[in-house]
Every structure is written in structure tokens, then in C-alpha cells.
Structure 1
Amino acid sequence: MLSELRISGLGVIDDAVLLPHPGLTAVTGETGAGKTMVVTALGLITGGRADSGRVRTGADRAVVEARVEVAPDHTAAQVVESAGGHPDDDGSFILIRTVTADGRSRAHAGGRSVPLSTLTEITDPVVAVHGQSEAISLLQAGRQRAVLDRYAQSDTLLERYRTARAQWQAATAELQDRTAHARERAQREQLLRMGVGEIDAVAPQPGEDVELVAAIKRLENADALRAAAADARGLLSGDAVEDVNAVQLLETARKQLESTGEARLVEWATSLHQAAAVLVDVGFELSSYLDELDADPAALEQMLARQATLRSLTRRYGADVDAVLAWRAEADRELELLDSSDEALAALQQKVQDTAERTATAATVLSAHRAKAAARLGGKATDELEHLAMGRATLRVAVTPRPATADAEHALLVDGQWCHAGSGGIDAVEFLLRSHSGAPELPIAKGASGGELSRVMLAVEVVLADADPVGTLVFDEVDAGVGGRAATEIGRRLAQLARTHQVIVVTHLAQVAAFADRHVVVDAAEDGAVRISSLREVIAEDREAELARMLGGTDGSTARAHAAELLESADLPAPVAEKATVQARRAPRKKAAAH
């Protein structure tokens, strides 16, 4: 849950701290006092878009800090640790979002700077913010499908469908490309095959050109090489007995040093003996070299011809033989793709058909899964609407295939019907509202007023709460456009939701605020700024006074009595609270009549 929220330099807020209750926290205040900035701050800390216009006038930046408490094995904690962040001593971790006046934005998690996307990844399973914009977005077909998938937990099936669809689209695009550019592909194929045939006819070996250069150089200089090697061998170990050679000189010097018997001279004599052994080995190697040295003119001519042939390849296909062979390998890979033979086209058409069938199967399974979940979601949401002063209304979630013509883009044949296969499946998902049994069933965009739309969203959210791992739910004036008994029921349902989730609601209705476990009031100072002292929890008489202000804008006895009545009924079970409210409202009228 969210245990602390500190806001600095955001909108009218100079510096303020909110300590939410683990249950239901209500945030109230005069219009323009800054209570909506609390929701704005939560939007920033969850990775929302940064608007430099939100930075308080005169401040160089806006800073939002949130302390989040989760279990060590929670997904959010794992993301923080994988990003290099660390929890505090109590196991919680700090999230920070900074927005400068010039529009730059930075994010930190657990003391480590992180990308904004990481901040979103951390908070997605922790906090969900719902405001009027989210209610309006519920009117969009894509958003309605996303809500259903969230309830149905369709992630695995949706990913399976998208993988199959990607393979189908890739095969279709390849077939279309081969068909549309058959002539160009055939010309390219012919050119590549000619090159491959020419290289194969020569059959160059890796590094052959380098080896030829060395071999040709050796043959061209065979006489000079022979003379140099022979002279060197004679100097090392002359063939004639009377010749004085290097080995004999070393041996003579060694013997003289050994004959002295002096330790150091004897040590050097050993080194001379080793040097003589090396010279003898070199002499033998030179003899072998002379035996192998061949000055065959015919061999030289063959090598020069081979070198000329290889150079003809390197002029066209690469800088050297290795580059020519690399071109040959790449040509083979390209030829596989360029194959425009009847057999290749037939194989590709079969691939398109197979991947289309797999995509259709995945789409069918996803649609069936959605349809079952839609029936459950609609039924449970309808039950919730009964508790939100919409007892005669029913909500149905319709899942229908999106039709398409056979020649349309992304048209997929599913169970004998052509459907539009988009990235989200073949289904159109629509929330349909019937206000009472005799009314027509209409899309919520047409059949729901602003207040009804807020209640529909709240009903859906209550149903989603059971399947949603998010621990903190934030509602920004979800009660807009409603009042009276409906407002009371909204407060009661939020309180019920707070039994399993941490709930923060920004509200202007006393009927909703009365159900809060913690009531926080935002009071702007005379200069319009909200400071730490301006964000205060109200209890007892102060809370009654705030509720009275919200009810009638006054702190009179009648408003106070009504506020006390709201607080009392909020602590009672629903049927008892309704009975108590009726009795409390009847009592003043009887007294007035007697008077």
C-alpha cells in the first residue's frame, strides 16, 4: 500500500504530506484548494505524462515522493531491486518523480535513477488511478475490451493469438511480395545464380590468395634463396674439414673456458654449448629447406594463372578470397528467399494457409474465453448497480466478431465467417446499459448520463477488485453528477472496497466522505498556497464541521445535525443505516408540527 505521499511545488501546493489510511481515505476541500493535485501527484508517480505547466509559479521544479510498502517477494519490489534500487530498513521503498519548469522529467526508485518506463512497471501492480478521464475512456471500444481482458485475465491467450497473427501476417506479406515483384525477383535470382556458378567453377579455398602470394614469391626468387641458404649453412657448419665455421669456433671457445676450472667461466661455457646446439639445428633445417626448394618454371606458371583467376573473382565479389566466399554464402541465403518457382510459391501458399488456421484457432479460443468472462462481469456489475441507486438497470458486456470482406486487409476466415483480425483479436467488446426493463439496451456512451457513467465505472471497478492484484485504488470525484441516496451508496461501496484494498477518494460529497476511515482536508492559505499545515486530518467536531460545510456551505446547527447523522449512519450496516436515517429525518418534522 501507499503509506506516505509528499508533494512539493506542484500546482497550488507548496509543500504538503498525505498519510493515507490502510482503508478508505477521503480528501476534501474548497474548489481550487488543491485537492485534485493529490491525484495529479499520484498520476506523476505512476509514470503519467509530465506537464511543466503544473510546476508551481516561482518554483524551479515539482517533486512527488511516495513511500510504498509491499512484501519482499512482490513484483514491484523485484522490479526495484532489478533496477539497482534498495528498500529502506523497514522494507518499504521510496519512489520520486521530478518535473522541472523547463519540462525535463526524472524518476528514482529505491535511491537509484530509473527510466520512466521502470517507474510505471513498479507502480502498475501497486496503484491504479481512476478519474473522470478514465470514466470517459470507458466509452471507447478499445478501453472496454481492455477492461474485459483485465477481468478475464486474458494475457496468455491474447499473447498466443498475437504470436500466431504475426506469423500469419509475415507469411502473407512474403507471398504478396513474391507475387507482386516476380519479374524483379527472377532477374535478381538469375544474377545471383550466375555469380554462384562462377565462384563454384573456380572453387577458391579460404586464404588461398594469401598462400599463393607467398608461394609465387618463393619460386620467383628461388636462386637467390638457394644461394643465401647455402652460404648460411656453410658458415654454420662448413662442408670441408679445413673450413672454420661458427660451430667449431663456439666449441673451441667452450673448451678453453672449461679448462680454466673457474666457476663463472665454466657457467658461460655451458651457455656456449647450448648455442652451438642451436646452430647445429639451424644447419639441419637449412639443409631441409634447400632440398625442398623447387625452381620449377611450370609450377610457377600454374600459380600465376591461378592467381589471375582468383583476382577476376575478387574484382567482382569481394576484396579478397574470404570476402568472395562470404558473398557466396549470402547469395545462397538470398536465393532461398527469392525462389519463385511453382514449388516454392505453393509451399509459401501452404504456409499462409497453415498460419491463418492457427490464428483463427487462437482467435476462437480467445473469443470464447472473453464471452464467458463477459457474462460474469455483466452479471456482477449489475448486482453492484443495485447498490448504487440503479437497481432497475442492467449492464451487459457484448462480445461479437467484427465482420470483414474477404479482400479486406487483415481479413481472417473464422468458422466460415470473414472477420477483421486486429492486434486485440477479432472481437468487438461493448458495454450495453438498460436503464429499466422497458427501456432499450444502448451503449453506455448513449444510454448513460454523467452520473450513471461514474456509477457504472465504480461498479465495474468493485467487480474487478476481486481479480485485480492492485493494492491501492484512487478515485478522483467518481461521485460527480450524483447526489442523495446514490451518493450515500457510492460511499458505502467505496468503504466495502476498502476492506480488501487501500482506497483514496477525492470527493466533494459529504455522503461519501462520511464513510472514510481518515478524512483529510486541503486548506489553501491566504496566498493560495497549500503547505504542510494546510493538509490536515479532521476528527470529531472538526470533521462534523467539514461535512457541514460540504452539505450546505455553513456551519449551522441544521448542517451540523445532518453531518452527525451521516457519520452515525456510516458506522451502521446498510439496512440499519437506512432505517436510522428515515427515523432521524422524521423526528424534526414531528417536532415542528407539535410546535
Structure 2
Amino acid sequence: MLASLRLTAFGVVDEADLELGPGLTALTGETGAGKTMLVAGLGHLLGTRADSGIVRRGRDRAVVEGRWVLPGHLVDRVRELGGEADDDEVVTLRQVSQQGRSRAVVGGAGVPVATLAALLGEVATIHGQSGQMRLSTPERQREVLDQHARPARLEPYRAAYAERRAAEAELAALRAAAIERAREEDLLRFGLAEIDAVEPVSGEDDALAAEQARLSDLDDLRALAAAAQTALSGSESDFDLPSAVALIGQTRKTLATLADRDDAAAPLAARSVEAAMLVTDLAADVAGYLDDLVADPLRLEAVGQRRAQLAGLTRKYGATIDDVLAWADDARSRLEALTGSDARIDELAGRVAALDRQLAADAADISTARRAAALDLEARVKAELAALAMPHAQLRFAIDEAPLGPHGADRIELLFSANPGSAPAPLAKVASGGELSRVRLALEVVLADDSAGHTFVFDEVDAGVGGAVGVEIGRRLQRLAAVSQVIVVTHLAQVAAFADRHFVVHKASDGQVTTSGVRALDDEERAAELARMMGGDAASASGLEHAAELLARARRA
């Protein structure tokens, strides 16, 4: 429910405040006073496109502020957006600058205009000429019928339809990529076969490189090892050549003698024994190393060939054998995924087929519910239209079979005929503006229980009708206002008389600038306004008497 509406520098309205409430609220005033500006202001809160032309001359921006009492799920949504709520009350704001820049605020948090429109669109609807045009669209006609039919399978159908679209899109993508996947599979399998044929081992390339270097340098290694052995153990051909083993042996004996004569030399003697053992072991190890340095041309050739095989892999699959092995692991994982794509295609195809069966069954149930609801809705709207001075009017929902779509398998069109003998034709083509207004009102009255708590704004709903019809319009707005908040901009006293509260829009001019304002009327002022609207003298006794009678009749309705 809209609790209050405030406009600042909005068109001809310099400043306007409306404290609203439940029930029926009437906005009246002379032609050109600016009544429609109030509706336009509310429209800006509901997402109307910003136009710098609505900014009042001499001001830098126009501001529309609405205070709403919202249901719990929308209050939660406001808080998710970063806004604040006072219990269930939320303040929304739309600002338009002279440069055409627009700003929207919900609960103190800046949001995109589309977000504000989506939020308030759940609780408020404006019925003006644009709203009537929207009733002429197949989408809105389907929404109206579904609002009354409430098909039990519609939501499951929509969820299944969305799932089917996603599955179909994935299936199409997998099928389209089948050739590319086959090509990639062949390349991966070839690479893995080439690697498996060589059977590389981690680190093998480095080990073979070291071995090849050793085998290639064998002569130099033997010369060096022999020189080391001679230095350690002496020469078999030159017995006078000193050796490390002989020298350390002599040192050990000398220190042992010294330690016998001086206890202080004992540690030195002990260390010389240890040194002699180390040198002797080293000499043995060098001799063993030298014995192992045997030329092996066949091994050298085998290592070279193996390294050539490994080099063939590292040229294609990685800089080292470890990189090659990593590529092979990745290739095997990718092959599993590619092979799994075929299984996924089968899975998706089966799921799409199952969803098609479910959708067909759900669509049949939805169509049945719509056809039953259409008959009931047509009959009830016909009765309402008869009371609105359209006794011969017919409204019919043409429901034809259509391909499965996001809302079922029905093509829905609202057909209308205002006169006897005229075949019903598409509403958008045959209904006048006044007829569309009454059709819209009749539908809302019939659907009132389905839209309890909603805020409806009617602008020009009484266009082209007279006094008796105006009474019926007022009566039906009053009935709708029993369950919803209704705001009506009207030129008819017969409509305004049914209102629970009444605002009059007035204008003033200083000869250069016209200003509109709005004020609430008490009972006496209200009678005078109704008398003026009926074309009489607002101060005349007869006019006031007629107005009082109209008010009394409306209160008895």
C-alpha cells in the first residue's frame, strides 16, 4: 500500500503531499490543473523513462518520494539491496535532473531504476492509456487469464521448460563440437601411444646425460684416477716415489713414539691413527673406482640411442621428461572427459525426451485449467460490462494450440465485441479507449480477490461515459477498494462520491508561471467540489443539495 506520495518541482507541481490510506482515494480538479502529474509522478516510481522535461522551470531537479507499506518478502528484498525499513514501511525515491540524469533510491540505498520498478511493480499498477494498451498484448492477456485460473502445474512447467532449454543448449553445443572432439581425441591418442612406446622414466633424461658424459670422458677420468692412486699408494715401477699411505704410516709411528715419552702427544698419536685409516680406505676406493672405469662402447652407443628417443618426446611434449610425463597425465584426463562427452550426449538426449513428455502432460493440464477459467471469467466480466452500460458487450478468450513455450502450449487472444451481431475480434483492434477502460475495470473487479492488497491507480477510467455509468464505475471501484488500495483520477462527481478520501488539485498563476497544488477536502469542501464537477455553482444551494444526495447514495451502496 502507498502510505504517502510527495512531489517536488515535478512539472506544474511545485510541492505536493498526499497522505494516503486503504480504500478508495479520488483526485479531482479542473481540466489542466495537473491531476495527471500526480499519476505521472507515481509512474516514475514504477520505472517510467526519465525525461528532463518534467523538471519544473527554474529548478535543478524533480523528485518523487513514496512511502510504502510492503509485504514481508519485499521488505527482506529491500534489506538485501542495502536499504532500511521501519518495520514494514519503506521509503522510495526517484530523482530526475535538468540534464536528464535519473537516480533511484530504496530505503536509503541507491539502486538501478529497473530494480525499483521490479520491486514496486509487485504491489502497484497504473491503469492509464498505456496500461490499457498493455491489456491489448497477448502476454498481458495470458497473465490476466492465469491470474484467475491459477494453473497448479504452471510453476512446475516453467521450471521444467527452463531445464529443458538448458539441456537442449548443452546438447546442441556437444553435438556441434563432436568433430573437433574426435580430432582432439586422435591427437591425444597418438601422443600417448608415442610416449607409451618409449616408456620414459622420471628423471631419466638427466641420468642418461650424466652417464653419457662419463662414458665419453673415460680416458681423461682414468688418467686422473691413476694419478690420484699413485699419489695415495705409490708407483709399482718407481719404489722411491713417495706415497700418502707411506708418509702417513711414518707419521703415525713417529707420533706413537712421541706419545710414549710425552702424554701430551697422545691425542696427536690417536689422530694420526685415524688419519692413516682414512687415507688407506681412500686409496682402496680410488683403486676400485679406477678398476670400474672400463671402456664400454656398446653402452655408450645404447645411451646415445636412448637419449635420442627421449629427445623425440621432449621436442613435442615438454622441455624435460618430467614435463612429458605431466603432459601424458593431462592427456589421459582430457581423453576421459572427451570420451565422457558421448555419454553426456546420451544422458542429455534422454533427459530432453523425458522433459518433453513431462511438459506435454503439464501443458495439457494448464490448458484445461485455462479453458475452464476462461468460461467463468467471460461470464463474470460480461455481467460487469452490462452494469457499465455495455449490455451487449462480449469478452472471450480464444485459446488455440501452440508449440510448447515458456508458459505452456496455448496461444491466447482476448476477443471483444461491443454490439449485438458483431463477431468478437481482437481487443486491440476493435475497442475504443473508453471501452478498454471499462474492460480493464471489469477485469480488475472480477479479479479483486486474486489481487488483494495491491495498489491500483486508474487514470481516465471514466473517459467518454455519462452520469449513470459513472455511478456504476464508482460502485465497482468501491468494491475493488474493499480488498485493495485504489486511487482514481476522475472528472465525474458520480465516481468521486464513492471515495473514502478526496483530494483536489488546484492551480494558480501569477501571469508568468502556473503552479499546481493538492489538498485534502473535508465533508463540506467535498460537497462543494462535487457540485462544481456536476457543472453547477459550487456555492449554490441546489448544487450542494445534489452533491450531498450523491454522497449519501454512495455511502449507502
Question: Unaligned 5+ residue runs, structure 2?
Answer: 225-244, 252-284, 294-298
Provide the rounded CA distance (Å) in 2 between the counterparts of 1:549 and 1:6.
26
Aligned partner of 2:555 in structure 1 is 571
Q: Of 548, 554, 557, which aligns to 2:531?
A: 548
> Is 1:375 paired with 2:371?
no
CA contact (8 A) 2:185 2:338 kept: no
Q: Quote how far apart the aligned CAs of 1:545 are.
A: 2.2
For normalisation by structure 2, the TM-score amounts to 0.74
Normalised by the length of structure 1, the TM-score is 0.69
Structure 1 gaps of 5+ residues are 179-183, 228-238, 244-286, 403-419, 574-595
- Amino acid of the residue matched to residue 428 of structure 1? R
Kept in 1, the 8 Å contact 2:205–2:310? The answer is: no
1:301-326: CA deviations, max 9, x gaps? 635632431332349xxx97646754
Runs of 4+ in 1 over 6 A off after TM superposition: 220-224, 239-243, 343-352
Q: How does 1:141-290 map to 2 (within 5 A)?
A: 141-154=138-151, 155-160=154-159, 162-163=161-162, 166=165, 170=169, 173=172, 186=179, 188=180, 191-203=183-195, 211=203, 215=207
**1:64-111 deviation line (CA, Å, top 9, x unaligned):** 11111235xx121011111121213x6422111122222222221112
User: Equivalent of 1:306, from 310, 315, 335?
Assistant: 310
Partners of 2:534 and 2:210 in 1: CA distance: 107
Does 1:42 find its partner at 2:71? Answer: no
How far apart are 1:165 and its partner, in Å? 5.1
User: Kindly tell me: are residues 221 and 99 of structure 1, through their superposed partners in 2, closer, same or farther at Cα, counting changes over 3 Å?
Assistant: farther
8 Å Cα contact 1:161-1:425 kept in structure 2: no
1:450 corresponding residue in structure 2 = 433
Output the CA distance in 2 between the equivalents of 1:491 and 1:133.
22
In 2, the alpha carbon distance for the partners of 1:209 and 1:36 equals 85
Structure 1 SS opposite 2:47: coil
Structure 2 residue aligned with 1:489: 472
Q: Specify whether residues 537 and 351 from structure 1 end up closer, same or farther in structure 2 by C-alpha distance, changes over 3 A only.
A: closer
Distance 1:548 1:306 in 2: 105
- Contact residue 452 and residue 483 of structure 2 kept, 8 A: no
CA distance in 2, matches of 1:519, 1:544: 10
Please give the alpha-carbon distance, in whole angstroms, between the structure 1 residues aligned to 2:93 and 2:427: 38
- SS of aligned partner of 1:525: strand
User: Is 1:5 matched with 2:9?
Assistant: no
Match of 1:138 in 2: 135
The answer to whether the Cα contact below 8 Å between 1:67 and 1:94 also exists between their aligned partners in 2 is: yes
1:152 Cα offset (Å): 2.8
Cα gap change, 1:387 to 1:510, in 2 (>3 Å): same
Who is 1:518 aligned against? 501
1:121 maps to which of 114, 118, 126: 118
- Determine if contact 1:76/1:126 at 8 Å carries over to the other structure: no
> Is the Cα contact below 8 Å between 1:474 and 1:504 reproduced in 2?
yes
Larger radius of gyration: 2
In structure 1, the residue matched to 2:75 is 77
- SS across alignment from 2:42: helix
Amino acid at match of 2:545: A
SS in 1 for 2:381: helix
How far is 1:429 from its partner?
A: 1.4
User: Aligned with 1:398: secondary structure?
Assistant: strand
- Name 1:95's counterpart in structure 2: 92
Deviation at 1:548, TM superposition (A): 2.2
Give secondary structure in 1 for the equivalent of 2:36. helix
SS of the residue 2:374 aligns to: helix
Matching residue's letter, 1:81 = R
* Cα separation, partners in 2 of 1:49 and 1:476, compared to 1, 3 Å: same
Pick from 534, 544, 555 the counterpart of residue 560 of structure 1: 544
Q: Using the TM superposition, name which of 372-381 and 300-309 deviates more.
A: 300-309
Q: In 2, distance between residues paired with 1:444 and 1:347?
A: 46
Secondary structure (helix, strand or coil) at the match of 2:509 reads coil
- Quickly say closer, same or farther: Cα 1:351–1:497, change in 2 above 3 A: closer
Distance change (3 Å), C-alpha of 1:18 and 1:322: farther
Say whether the 8 Å CA contact 1:34–1:522 is kept in structure 2: yes
Q: 1:209 to 1:98 in 2, by over 3 A?
A: farther
2:531/2:538 contact within 8 Å kept: yes
Instruction: State the identity %.
Output: 40
RMSD (Å) for aligned C-alpha atoms: 4.0
Do the aligned partners of residues 143 and 311 (structure 1) sit closer, same or farther apart at CA in structure 2, a change above 3 Å counting? same
1:302 maps to a residue whose letter is R
Structure 2 vs 1, CA of residues 548 and 350 (structure 1 numbering), >3 Å: closer, same or farther? same
